[in-house]
Every structure is written in C-alpha cells, then in structure tokens.
Structure 1
Amino acid sequence: MNNASDLCVKCGKCIPNCTIYDINHDEVTSPRGFLDLIAAYKEGKLQLNKELESVFESCFLCNHCVEICPSKLSVDNAIEKMRFDMVKKFGMPWYKKIILSCLKNRKWLDILAKLGYIFQSCAFHIQNKDFEKNLGMRAKFSMPFVKKGRFLSSFNKKSFLNSNPNFIDNGGSKTIGLYVGCLTNYCYTQTGFSTLKILKELKINVDLMKKQACCGVAHFFSGDFKSVEILAKKNIEYFEEKLQKLDAIIIPEATCSAMLKIDYERFFMMQDEQEWANRAKKISSKIYIASQYLYQFTSLKQLLKNKKQKKYSITYHDPCHARRMQGVFKEPRELLKANYTYIEMQNPDACCGFGGISMQTKHYDKTLSVGEKKVEMINQTMAHFVSAECSACRMQISNNLERKSSKVVFVHPLELIAKVL
C-alpha cells in the first residue's frame, strides 16, 4: 500500500472539503496537516504525546479528502495507523475498552441489552417520537459517551437476530445472507424487520447468518487492530462458507458494509497479510449495501411503482461510507422517489459529524458543531422525514434534530419502503 504521507504533494485541494477543518480552521487539523505530522513522526522528528493524540482523534474519517485528492491517497488509513501506534504507547481508555469489548462479544451484548432495557427506563427520560414508534432516550447525567441531555437510541428487550429463525423461506429461487450491524441488532431493530418484509414481498429467501460477528469498524477507528484482526478473520471464514450457497450478502448499514467490503482488504494490506487481503477481496464482490442490491438485482422498483403515493416528503443524507467509499447514492433516492415526494437538501453529502467513539467521547462539542450544520440543511427542506442508510448517522442526526427541537424525523430508507409495501 502506498505511503500517503510521502506521496502527498501539498496541493491543498483537500482542505476546503475537510469536515474538521471547516469548524476548526487550523492547518494542523487538516488532511495536509495530518500527513505532515505523520511524516515528521516517521522521520523521528516528532514524538507521540497526549496533545498529538488529541489531534489525530479529532479527524471524522469522513473520506472527503480521499475523494477530492488527485492521487486518491488513503489519508484515512494513515490516520487509523497512527491511532494504532498511539494505543500501543498510551493504552486504551477504560470506557473505550468496555465499549469495544462488548462489541467484540455478542453474548455480552445480548446480556447487556436486556439489562440496558431495564436500566434505561430508570436512568433516562424515554421519548416516543419516531415514525415507526421507535423509542429514544435522553440522558439525565454525564459520563463518557453518555453526555447529559443527549438523545440516544434505546435498547430492545430482544435483539433482532434472537427474534428470528436462522433461515426464512420465502418460496423464492434466490437466497441472500443478511448481515446486520450492532446498532440495528440491538437498537434499531425495525430496520431489520423492514428488510425482512421487503425480501418477503420479493420472494427472496433469507439466511440470517447468526454466527456473524461485529464488523470491527469501531475497533478500526479506535486503533484496536488486534480486535479488528480477530473479527475480520472470523467473518471472512464464515462468509466464505456461507457464500457457497448464497447469491449475495446484503447489509442495511453503510459503515458496516464499507468495513466488510473495502476496509478488510485495506486492513490486511496494512498488516502485510496478503493472503487474508486476497480472501477479503474475493468475498467483497458478493457484498452489497442493501439499497444497492435491491435496486440493481431485484424487481423492487417495479413493485413500488404499483403502490400508492404517500403524503409525506423526504430528504436524504448521504452517509460518508456509502457515497464516498462505495459509490452508492442514486439507488436509495430512486427507491424512495417512487412513493414519496423527494426534496434534495443543500450539500447532502456533507458529513453528519458522528466520527466514531473517539469523536463522540473526546470531541463531542465538535460533533455537535458539524451536526448542527447538517440539521440546518435538513430543516431548510421542510421535509417530513430525513433518511440515510446508516445507524451511526441516525444516532448523530437524531440527537441534533432533538437538540434543535426540529419537527423532522429520521427514518431508515428500508423502513420507509416497507411502509409502502
């Protein structure tokens, strides 16, 4: 893999499009600045310290710079590698260890989800505002990741995977595997159920692949490369086995699908594990973000054309890991336009400001600054709903919509499509 810090020609085209630079006009926190610091570190001119750690944790990893770069330098991977080096030197904060350990162990999450469902009703103010009556909760106290007054997704008593059989026979000739991210599995379960409803209408059989593990994207962004390796190898081996009988694997989550489809190969190349990189690349050709597969390989477009128009308007936010990493932006729009009034927002591909665990814990004020700009764009459309194929975006945008007392409600595109059916 080419070394981005050595190949950067300092043209500066990335800077006007950088999410963190837009709210923090400092050359240090810009793609060019990050790469200069990395080069100085590699040359032994710069030592790792806590101030430098804070700088590298302030990147949203939105990939705007990679998209605009004439040489398509992988600035994101260079920053992820720096975070790995910082974890080796400084260790991982206790709260990150807990979060990442839980994500790595699904049995723990099953137990914690049940406890969380009980805990949230005592410790949080529960609100009921969503289109499908999904619950949200506002924190009453402050701690890392749970900031006081923050609107969060709520837990469900039973995860999506544990609520369904291993295999669903819809009487079709095709069978797909369904991979659900951790947020869909434990919080936004309606997204999973809506996906099943759509596949039932299309007569496509579903293998829920219940041995699927967390994709590891949170670990990757946090510099926990050991966990990424464990999770990635487990999923690759499992998918190789499953894809012998499946037509494809679909994922209703932009960040998860980007990790599985693209970043697994990149990660193993960074680790000089070419064999695993090749295996990751081979399975990637059968992995799709859900809207992409449904638009390109099924009769869903025609099915929706025969359904009635809904009296609701929708605007769409492009998740960074859908549009920039996977080139998916047309498909969800076209599916939604079939039955809803569509209104395009200004700069729909502007980052929502989620940014991962580091941003949400150490730079929460910056995530709010970016999120507020996104909410302004959403409110200007005067749409009933804003949609995006990403639960991380959903959490971030919902929090900022609530903070601004917006009347716009966030709903996943597959939930809106299922509502039509």
Structure 2
Amino acid sequence: MINLTNTSDLCVKCGKCIPSCTIYDIKRDEISSPRGFLDLIIAYKEGKLKLDREVQKTFDSCFLCTNCVEICPSKLSVDNAIEQMRSEIVKELGMPWYKRLILLLLKNRKFLDILAKFGYVFQSCAFKIQNNNFKQNLGIKAKFSIPFIKKGRLLSSLNKKSFLNSNLDFIDNGGKKTIGLFVGCLANYSYIETANSILKIAKELKINVDLMKKQACCGVAHFFSGDFKSVEVLAKKNIEYFEKKLEKLDAIIIPEATCSAMLKIDYERFFIMQNDTEWAKRANNISSKVYITSEYFYKFTNLQEILKNKQSFDYEITYHDPCHAKKMQGVFKEPRELLKTNYHFVEMKDCDMCCGFGGVGMQIDYYKQALNVGFKKVNAIKKTKASFVSAECSACRVQISNALEQDSSKVIFVHPLELIAKALK
C-alpha cells in the first residue's frame, strides 16, 4: 500500500479549503475538492476504490495550485498526496501515448534541439506574428504563435537554436561572484529573451554566470503527471550535478517559479515519498543555494540601487503571483520592488489567484476548464487598466498570454526580468 504521509487520515474535514479550490470553483462538485480528493485516497487505501479511467479523470482535474495547502490549518500537503495518487494510477492504468511523448521530449534535450530546428523552419507557414504597439515601444520583439491541439490556442514557437546552445558555457563578467543559471525548458527553447535578460543584468552587476549546460529538465511535468520513474532519474542527475557545481558557485538562480519550486522543495518531498532518506537529505542540502532569480537579485545584489539611476517608464505594469512562487516559496515582494523602481506599478486584486495552467495534462485533457480559469485572471488584469502583466513563470506566461489572446485583450505579458533588463539599457 502506498505511503501518503498520513495526509488523508489527518484531514479533519473542516472544509476551509473548498472555497479556495480552483477546480471546485469550476465544477462545484464535492468530489473535485481537496476534501473530496482525500476521501477518495482513503477509500483507495482501504481497498474500497478500484482505479479506473473515471478516477483518473477526477485526480487529473486538480490544478495543483496549492491554494488548499496554504489555507489548511494543519498545512497538509494535499498536492503531494494527489501527485502520489497519480503515480499509483499511472502504474495501474498507464499513460496516454501523447503524454508519454511530451514527457519523453522534455526528458531528452537532444530530441528537443532537433524539434526546435523543425519548428523554426516551418514557422513562416504555420505560425502567426502577434504585433502590439506597446510591445514595440518597449523594444520587445514580436513573438510567434501556433495553434496547438485545440482550435485557436496560441503558443510561442521554438527558436532555431536554444539559449544554452547559443552561448558559451561560462560568461566571465570580471566579478567576484559566480552564479549558476538553471534556465528551464520554456526559457531555453521559446522565451529566450528571458534568459538573455539574466545575462544582461548579470553583466551590469559584474556577476559571472555558469550556464551549467549539463542540467537536465527539472522533472516538474513528470511529477505532476505521475511519471515518478522519470522524476527519480532527472532529480538524481541534477542533484549530483549541482553538488559538484556548488563547490564553486555562490548560488543557482532560476527564472521559473515551477522549476524553482521543484528543485528547492519538491525534490526533497519526492524522495521522502519514496522513503529514500539519503537522497532527500542531498536534495535538502542544495536547496539553500537555489533561488528564484528576482529573489536573488533583490536580496544579494545592489540591482535596485542601480535601477534607481536608470530611466523610468510610464508603462503601467501589474503583477500575477505564480502559485509556486508565492505560496510555495514565499516570493512575491522581490519582483514587485524591482519593477516599481522604473515602472508605474498597479496592484491587481486577486493577484495570487491561479492562472489555470495546471500542467501538461491539464492543458491537453482539460483545456476548456483551464481556459475558464484563465479568463477569470484576465478579468482581474483588465480591472487594473495596466498595459502589461508580468509574472516570473513561463508556464503562467503560456496560460495568461493565451487567455488574453482569446479575450482579444491588448494587454501584453512580459517576464519581469525582461522589463528590468530594458530599464538597464
């Protein structure tokens, strides 16, 4: 029988989590709520629930936004319980071929490099350019988008050459500090300007950058999908690699909230789930040196002081808090303070409401539900009357950009690091 760290047994059924649950807000079904998920887990543990496709659909419908964890009086890790339950379901029922294919690509960068080249070649006939005056004025290049699986969906195209393949292994800025950059799959292949912005900022700060080119995918997509075998392979590979790198690095920075949360928090949790105390300890040892990029630049450099002497812009910026930044890592002040230095900042009501990305499975199998959550976020953005919305997460970027496009909104999503790099020019 699986060990779910007694999460399901410890739930007192107070129901405080239900009003905050992203999927319950859509379905209004007790089963699709944190309390309902835990009841199903108890039934499974007691041998009263047989795993089938309906059960799989129920557990796959969770956005893993961690709202329930944040509001729970006992701070029960409902998200981890659901992730482990998904693993049991995958063992029993398997995984659809298209999910296996996506996860295989993420696991093997050589395959993605080849795919990126093909994506670039065909973009002239398959992609459409999204132009916007605000974006052009800011100096940000227009992005390419392609319909993906569902009619009308838009995603940024793959670049011909990835960020890691476009740069030297080590960027020497003549500094006393050296940081490692874990770039993340989306910033490596699609949102390359985000990664380039880190290099621009590091150059201004005179901080050397090790691109750590042997880094593997963090495995968060595999973790959310229940592919625990791949998580173990990727996590161990990264931990061993980071241990060696951290002998000479001051820190490892990550421009993606989900990747950062995976490396900093969920690696340890994963190995605890597997009753592997040795690797859990090794994961914990590296976590103290892992930071979301804005957190590191705000706390450990004089970036804000430098920005105060740079040009200010009249663009109104609002900010969305990625679930895995604020709720899991407590990072929300840092990007705001940096952006406020050079831009007119407008706070969004419900800024920490889940954007609705929810992972690979959610985007493929529950696109309409995800889009409905995205539209709620769009409404909150529009009320600010801001020209730009920002968030330190490319997964949120994919989701919010698509929702804005479907809503025909003129608001543009820009990563905070791109805005900061622009201000440094």
The answer to whether the aligner puts 1:263 opposite 2:288 as a matched pair is: no
What is the aligned partner in structure 2 of residue 406 from structure 1? 409
Match of 1:207 in 2: 210
Letter in 2 for 1:127: Q
Which residue number in structure 2 is paired with residue 142 of structure 1?
none
Report the residue type matching 1:318 in the other structure. D
Structure 2 residue runs without a partner (length 5+) = none
Contact preservation (8 Å) 1:128, 1:136 = no
Q: Provide Cα deviations, 1:243-276, integer angstroms capped at 9, x if missing partner.
A: 0000000000000000000000000000011100
Deviation readout 1:179-200 (Å, 9 max, x if unpaired): 1010000000000000100000
Q: Which of residues 266, 281, 290 is equivalent to 1:287?
A: 290
1:366-419 Cα deviation digits (max 9, x unpaired): 001100000000011111100000000000000000011111100000000000
Contact 1:127 1:138 in 2 (8 A): no
1:8-407 pair list within 5 angstroms: 8-129=11-132, 130=135, 132-139=140-147, 146-407=149-410
Q: Once the two structures are superposed, what CA deviation does each residue of 1:337-369 show, in whole Å capped at 9, x if it has no partner?
A: 001000011100000000001111111110011
Q: Secondary structure at the match of 1:29?
A: coil
Deviation at 1:118, TM superposition (A): 1.8
Give me the whole-angstrom Cα distance separating, in 1, the residues matched to 2:422 and 2:17: 40
The CA distance in 1 between the partners of 2:83 and 2:386, in whole Å, is 36
Q: Deviations along 1:6-61, whole A, 9 cap, x unmatched? A: 10000001001111111111100000000000000110011001111000000000
Q: Equivalents in 2 of 1:226, 1:2: separation in Å?
A: 20
- How big is the shift at 1:308? 2.0
What CA deviation, in whole Å up to 9, does each residue of 1:304-336 have, x standing for no partner? 111121111100000000000000000000000
Cα separation, 2, equivalents of 1:109 and 1:166: 19
Contact 1:152-1:399 at 8 Å conserved across structures: yes
Residue identity in the other structure for 1:173: K
Gaps of 5+ in 1: 140-144
SS of alignment partner, residue 150 of structure 1: strand
Contact 1:85 1:223 in 2 (8 A): yes
- Contact 2:127–2:144 at 8 Å: present in 1 too? no
Which whole-Å CA distance do the structure 1 matches of 2:6 and 2:112 have between them? Answer: 37
**TM-score (ref. length: structure 2):** 0.96
CA RMSD of the aligned region, Å? 1.0
Provide the rounded CA distance (Å) in 1 between the counterparts of 2:181 and 2:187. Answer: 12
- Rounded to whole Å, the distance in 2 between the matches of 1:182 and 1:90 is 28
